[in-house]
Amino acid sequence: MKSLELFVERIILAARWILVVFYLGLAAALLVYAASFIGKFIKVAGAVTTLGEADMILAMLGLIDAALVASLVVMVMISGYENFVSRFDEHDGEVSFLGKLDAGSLKIKVASSIVAISSIHLLQVFLNSDKYETIQLVVMTGIHLAFVLSALMLGILERLMAKRKGAMDEPHV
């Protein structure tokens, strides 16, 4: 029975390497997104003399939004690989920043990134509010507030869990 248990455990532990397919897929998607970003940048650069101030701000917000999304993808790839598959080998401090995000911290960082991306999108919408109906603006604001509330709740839960863990780690006298 013990040999069957060890066999099952080995299969389950080996199955984590299937996640590598997802991380490589995210890396490929990031490459495609980078090409899209370059296209957007070229379009903005080509129209720099014809764009008004508001349109230039909207274009820049679009580029910032793309950078935040790309950073989010990288954060998920690196942290996910580190937490669930294998540790990175360190090459002359090249990856010394890795391994600092556990699953709980990653959730908070992802939620914070989503709030930042949503904020930029909502700002773009408000700068073009004449193109939207009031109900659309209300719904988009409500969705953004849901993201903010979710991020806030994740932060509170993470803090409570850290306090609880700290209290459990303290020696009782």
111-142 residue pLDDT tens: 888 898 889 889 888 888 889 999 999 999 99
Looking at every residue in the chain, the average pLDDT score rounds to 85
- Written as six digits, the tokens of 106 are 């990653």
pTM of the model as a whole: 0.70
**Sign of the CA dihedral running 135, 140, 144, 146:** positive
**38-64 pLDDT tens trace:** 999 999 999 989 988 888 888 888 899
List pLDDT tens digits, range 135-163: 999 999 999 999 999 989 988 888 888 77
